[in-house]
Structure 1
Amino acid sequence: MYRRVDITEDAVRILDALKERHGDLMFHQSGGCCDGSSPMCLEKGDLLLNENDVWLGTVHGCEFFMSKDQFEYWKHTHLLVDITKGRGSSFSLEIPMGVRFVIKSRMFKPEELEDLQPIKHGEEFID
């Protein structure tokens, strides 16, 4: 089964430092523009999720969510959480460290599309 979202080793190091300071974390890929299109890393539970959010998987122990509408555009895309130098302007926890999480993406290959990890919408898994 192919994962919909993964994370680089550089991003894992930042995530480990954030976990040490903040505890359990989560990601939400917002659908805004500019900095609003970056994945936000938040303390688990700080963002209230609802029926408009879908679960795409877990990266380094952190659940990763995206809005349902945005997922419709990205459902054929593999997401890779990475880190880059520079300060974003969101509420994401890494911002004070002088770095920000970014998404690198690629289209799934045909064989991957046939065996993708299902998403979760509410309490229900969806292929």
Structure 2
Amino acid sequence: MGRPSRLSIEERTVDGVRVLSVSGEIDHDTMGPVRDALLPPDAVTPRRLVADLGAVTFMDSSGINLFLAAHQTISASGGWLRIAGAGSAVRRVIEIVGLDLIVSCHPTVEEALTG
């Protein structure tokens, strides 16, 4: 059984860009809420989205797959997805699998917003 309390997601808009601040762990048990935040099932695909992973303590292949799918969907609609603030453990996973070669990664949300 999953432990949803291991994850929290806050959303805000900065200059027309959706910013999702994710805290906790992104894995098989928590991927549903992350997927729904990245690509809300009842909403239009966002055109510009920054995922702030500064408070993510762990991410496995479930998270990698979610970000790849979100990138493909958002890019297909003419938008972009950027990752910001990933800590060393999460950044290492992103780099090992090459996600950083597909999705633009930035040290801070501010840098991700400006591109």
Question: Does the TM-score normalized on the shorter chain lie above 0.5?
Answer: no
| TM-score of the superposed pair, with normalisation by structure 1 | 0.26
Indicate the structure with greater strand content: 1
Larger relative CO (CA 8 A, sep 6+): 1 or 2? Answer: 1
Indicate the structure with greater helix content: 2
| TM-score of the superposed pair, with normalisation by structure 2 | 0.28
